[in-house]
Chains A and B, each alone.
Chain A
Amino acid sequence: MALLEVRDLSVVFRRKGEEPTIAVDGISFDVEPGQTVGLVGESGCGKSVTSLAIMGLLPSRGVDVSGSVSFEGTELLHLSQRRLDERRGRDLGMVFQDPLSSLNPVVPIGVQIAEVLQRHRELSRKQARSEAAELLNRVGIPDPARRLDEYPHQLSGGMRQRALIAIALACRPRLLIADEPTTALDVTIQAQILNLLTELVADTDTALIMITHDLGVVAGLCDEVNVMYGGRIVERAERHALFTAPRHPYTNGLLESIPRLDAPRGERLVPIRGSVVDNIPWADGCAFAPRCPNAIEPCWSVTPALVADDGRMLRCHNPVEVPVTAGEGVR
């Protein structure tokens, strides 16, 4: 049985006097113990909302969450607030994009970590404190004993993100969700944090859901990658398969539109035309159809289903042809 099973998860935002917005539109995926799964997509594709829904962090008013999220057989969506609070932190940890706003600015780092330890692992104050120092040391914060008494604003962005990871890992969760954990950081710091995450996940056999817009981050980190567009998964594949032979025109378009550091110079980028505002509703066809270079007649009238195709899942009427020299990559 998978560690986390997400089935047909949908999130609809309802605002008074406005059309409801479907942020997540029936997505399903599994996370096996110790596995790293990527959710990739641009802003507005529903990847962050998915993570909030799994964690039960969406506001209850004005938001409809349906489907099922089962963690080790327990349905999380119908759990009472109290039971959910118990699970969060103990079984499920989360790391957010902006480490400064996710930490309480008026409480020292050490107290914030110790709090989690005291609550979920029932350690004494003293034990919690020394354990907190141990955790800070493990996430690579130098001089941890002194850092315990410092406030979030006294740490740099990278150090704050490390502290946040320390809090998320404090109770040795089985699953860690990282929502754009390195977007606010510089590249050299990003490399440090990604390295840290990889190491920690490997050492503790924690499963990781990595949510990002950066295909480069996913390429080196994730076992399986889900590409999201307009609230649905449009392609899912093992990372090597996905990057060497992207089949969905959106995945392919993303890969062709980003400048690669190792690409020969002078090569023109192939942008995806238009922007997300051009999308058509999934109910009418394929949301990506207006921007798709491969769009054919059915794309505008028939909703494509997510079907298995040669070891991957694909939601497309007219996928990109598998290149003849698949081994060498498409570019």
Chain B
Amino acid sequence: MTSSRAAKIDRLAATAAHKPTAEGEPQAGGNGPKSDAGVSLAASAWRRLRRNPMFLSGAVIIGLFLLLALLAPFIAPHDPGLRLLQDQVVQARNQLPPPQPGHPMGGDQYGRDFFSRMLLGSQQTLMVAVLATVIGLGGGLVLGTLAGAFGGWVDTVVMRIVDVLLSIPSLLLAVSIGAMFAQQSQFTVIIAVAIVQIPIFARLLRGTMLGVRESDHVLAARALGVKRRAIVFRHILPNSLGPVIVQSTLVLAIAILDAAALSFLGLGAADDSTPEWGQMLGNAQDFFDSQPHLAFWPAACIIAVALGFTLVGESMREALDPRQRR
């Protein structure tokens, strides 16, 4: 019943669980560099990350889009809701305003300035992705911690629910959840995408925690007489978060795509006065023959942002992978 996705998550969890044992042997020949004083694991991971071109390019992409989203209201030349070029729209002949001076990307089917809509659309898209991921992460943390820390029947019940959710293709699940709401809005998109992410996070965290729970240092803490709560929150959870954090950057990319897909399918906000890339992409399909650039720009931006997050996520996973550590 467990899908291949579940197996993949478990594999990821397993790499983290072995962390403490994967310790480098003494440098051969004894002329290896000595480490500086007081470098925590996170710090040494960051040192490696800083030099990784993959991470840097991903970070630059994300940084650019974030900057764009923050500055969008100030640099957008027009109000995205105003139908400035309405007189150039000819419904019958499927004719839309072409790119022209003052409107570098032309206008959409209501004659609104497409460039300004692209700029402001970044806000919505990023917000949906981040919120959906944060909610998904939060839910996953709660469920995963419950299952991982208590084990027993709590674990069984939680994990069976998670397995059921994982066995449904993620987009189908998101669509079904989105369709359950009476009134579709940006909020329902966020919730739908978030719920899809919860089981992924929960399973990943639970798998990692089970591994860490059996590790010697947790046994050592138990032997010391440290209280159960402290063991879970000081030892097990912090040592299990690595893969989850990495996963969340990867999930951000997926969330952007899922949110775009939902909007594209018409499950987003009914009111399109606040622009969103997925929705724009969906609207553009009617005019793809005559105005392909209307589809190109939102699609290119979605891919670019998703790529940025994927690059960062993958390089973080590499940096935190114990086998890479020297």
Chain A in direct contact with chain B (Cβ < 8 angstroms): yes
Q: A residues touching B (Cβ–Cβ < 8 Å)?
A: 13, 15, 17-19, 21-23, 25, 43-46, 49, 230-231, 275-279, 281, 287
Task: Verify A279–B29 contact, CB threshold 8 A.
Answer: yes
Give A49 to B29 CA distance when docked, in angstroms.
11
Contact B27 A21 (CB under 8 A): yes
Which residues of B in the span 26-70 have a Cβ within 8 Å of any Cβ on A?
Answer: 26-34, 51
Partner pick for A21 among B32, B34, B51, CB 8 A cutoff: B32
Q: How far is the CA of A275 from the CA of B32 in the complex (A)?
A: 13
CA distance A279 to B29 in the complex (A): 8
Measured in the bound complex, the distance between the Cα atoms of B34 and A70 in whole Å is 37
Judging by beta carbons under 8 Å apart, are B30 and A49 in contact?
Answer: no
**Distance (whole angstroms) from the CB of A254 to the closest CB of chain B:** 16
| A17 to B51 alpha-carbon distance, docked (Å) | 10
CB < 8 Å neighbour of B33 from A18, A25, A278: A18
Interfacial chain B residues near A278, Cβ < 8 Å: 30
Which chain B positions have C-beta within 8 A of A19?
31-33
Secondary structure at the B interface, as helix, strand, loop or mixed, is: loop
Q: B residues 85-101 with Cβ under 8 Å of A?
A: none
Chain A residues, CB < 8 A from B34: 277
State the Cβ distance, B225 to closest chain A Cβ, in Å. Answer: 32
* A residues in contact with B289, CB < 8 Å: none
Among the listed B28, B51, B326, which residue makes an inter-chain contact with A23, where contact means beta carbons less than 8 Å apart?
A: B28
Measured between beta carbons, the chain A residues less than 8 angstroms from B29 are 21-23, 25, 44, 46, 230-231, 279, 287
Q: Which of B25, B30, B32, B326 has the most CB of A within 10 A?
A: B30
* Given A44-B25, A49-B28, 4 additional A-B pairs, CB 8 A: A18-B33, A44-B27, A230-B30, A276-B27
CB distance from B116 to the nearest CB of A (A): 45
Alpha-carbon distance between A287 and B27 when the two chains are bound, in angstroms: 13
**Can you offer 22 A-B residue contacts whose CB atoms are under 8 A?**
A15-B326, A19-B32, A21-B28, A22-B28, A22-B31, A23-B28, A23-B29, A25-B29, A44-B27, A44-B28, A44-B30, A45-B28, A46-B29, A49-B28, A230-B29, A231-B28, A276-B30, A277-B32, A277-B34, A278-B30, A279-B29, A287-B30
Residues from chain A with Cβ under 8 Å of B51 in the complex: 17
Q: How far is the CA of A13 from the CA of B31 in the complex (A)?
A: 12
Q: How far is the CA of A276 from the CA of B51 in the complex (A)?
A: 29
Contacts of B31 in A (CB 8 A): 19, 21-22, 279, 281
A23 to B326, CA, bound (A): 16
Contact partners of A23 in chain B: CB under 8 A: 28-29
Chain B proximity of A76: nearest CB distance (Å): 22
The CA of A46 and the CA of B326, in the complex, are separated in Å by: 18
| Whole-angstrom distance between the Cβ of A289 and the nearest chain B Cβ | 11
Q: Which residue on chain A has the smallest CB distance to residue B31?
A: A281
Are B28 and A279 interface neighbours, CB within 8 A? no
**In the bound complex, do residue A277 and residue B27 qualify as a contact, i.e. CB atoms below 8 Å apart?**
yes
CB closest residue in chain B, given A43: B25
Chain B residues lying within 8 Å of A17, measured Cβ to Cβ, are 51
Give A15 to B32 CA distance when docked, in angstroms.
12
Q: Chain B residues near A231 (CB, 8 Å)?
A: 28-29
**Judging by beta carbons under 8 Å apart, are A277 and B30 in contact?**
yes
Q: A residues within 8 A CB of B28?
A: 13, 21-23, 44-46, 49, 231
Question: Least Cβ distance of B12 to chain A in Å?
Answer: 22
